[in-house]
């Protein structure tokens, strides 16, 4: 199993360790704004995972200039993870009022190392007075929903791998991805080239399939050096739309992203 978790390094944030994250102090709260220390936010996620018998097998964290914003990604296992993807938890926060606290639960493909993960469950909580009281409940709710959906992704990936497609069908799917806002049309040629000759041989085990196409898109969307750190949080929505296109092609109806935004 590839447990590389360099995802933060692609998006312009400075990589830091968990101990360094814990050392970053949050400003003093005001009457209307209550910043959450990064270490406490991550700690609440870890607590909730442990309570559900879920184990963190790898993690990565990054912060922007002056530690203003934090992005993190945790690879999670429950003893039955397959070899080609992991359940992941994305985390974001800020101490400069620019972002609400956020947690996204979904999945990522090991081979790609490219920030692309599909979030089935997303929560946001603004940094108002009761944020510290509400966050544990919200995180526990998200993790509970994760447990009920654990098997969905294996069903999805198995279906992708089983459906072979040719270049013409890949072009149709690429057009649908462009129309859905998954990527700009300027990426189209890169995606089709990646589909024809994947960078990772794992995606051609069953020939050219929907799984090959899915990973061609996520490879083409890989953030490049100097891109914005917020890419960690914008990619799940685009990857979710990509899943919808691929699900429709193979005849699946797994469901849409659950998102909750609270004051």
pLDDT tens sequence across 63-81: 888 899 888 888 887 555 5
Classify the C-alpha dihedral 48-6-233-81 as positive or negative. Answer: negative
Q: Do 161 and 142 share a structural domain?
A: no
Q: Do 21 and 81 share a structural domain?
A: yes
Q: Do 211 and 89 share a structural domain?
A: no
Q: Do 73 and 16 share a structural domain?
A: yes
Q: Do 147 and 163 share a structural domain?
A: no
Domain limits for position 220? 155-252
| Domain end residue (candidates: 151, 167, 192) | 151
Is the pLDDT reported for residue 49 higher than 80? Answer: yes
Strand partners, 93: 70
Domain count along the chain? 2
| Domain end residue (candidates: 124, 151, 178) | 151
Residue pair 48/143 in contact by the 8 Å Cβ criterion: yes
pLDDT of residue 31: 87
Tokens encoding 60 = 């990565």
pLDDT of residue 38: 92
pTM, two decimals, is 0.64
> To which residue do tokens 């589909």 refer?
195
CA distances from 234 to 105, 130, 252 (A): 14, 26, 24
For the segment 105-135, what is each residue's pLDDT rounded down to a tens digit? Answer: 776 654 444 444 555 666 767 787 777 777 7
Closest CA to 72 of 58, 85, 83, 84: 58
Q: Are strands 258-262 and 101-109 parallel, antiparallel or unpaired?
A: unpaired
| Domain end residue (candidates: 151, 167, 193) | 151
Q: Do 110 and 65 share a structural domain?
A: yes
């Amino acid at each position: 199993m590839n447990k590389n978790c360099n995802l933060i390094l692609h998006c312009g944030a400075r990589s830091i360790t968990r101990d360094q994250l814990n050392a970053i102090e949050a400003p003093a709260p005001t009457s209307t704004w209550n910043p959450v220390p990064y270490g406490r936010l991550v700690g609440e996620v870890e607590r909730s995972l442990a309570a559900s018998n879920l184990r963190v097998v790898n993690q990565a964290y990054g912060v922007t200039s002056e530690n203003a914003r934090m992005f993190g990604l945790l690879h999670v296992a429950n003893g039955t993870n397959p070899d080609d993807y992991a359940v992941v938890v994305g985390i974001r926060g800020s101490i400069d009022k620019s972002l609400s606290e956020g947690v996204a639960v979904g999945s990522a493909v090991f081979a790609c190392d490219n920030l692309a993960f599909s979030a089935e469950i997303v929560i946001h909580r603004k940094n108002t007075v009761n944020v510290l009281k509400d966050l544990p409940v919200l995180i526990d709710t998200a993790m509970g929903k994760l447990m009920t959906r654990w098997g969905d992704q294996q069903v999805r990936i198995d279906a992708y791998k089983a459906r072979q497609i040719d270049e013409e069908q890949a072009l149709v799917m690429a057009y649908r991805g462009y129309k859905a806002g998954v990527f700009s049309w300027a990426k189209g040629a890169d995606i089709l080239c990646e589909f024809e000759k994947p960078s990772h041989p794992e995606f051609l085990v069953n020939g050219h399939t929907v799984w090959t196409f899915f990973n061609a898109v996520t490879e083409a969307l890989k953030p490049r050096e100097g891109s914005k750190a917020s890419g960690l949080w914008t990619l799940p929505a685009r990857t979710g739309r990509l899943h919808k296109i691929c699900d429709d092609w193979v005849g699946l109806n797994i469901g849409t992203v659950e998102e909750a935004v609270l004051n």
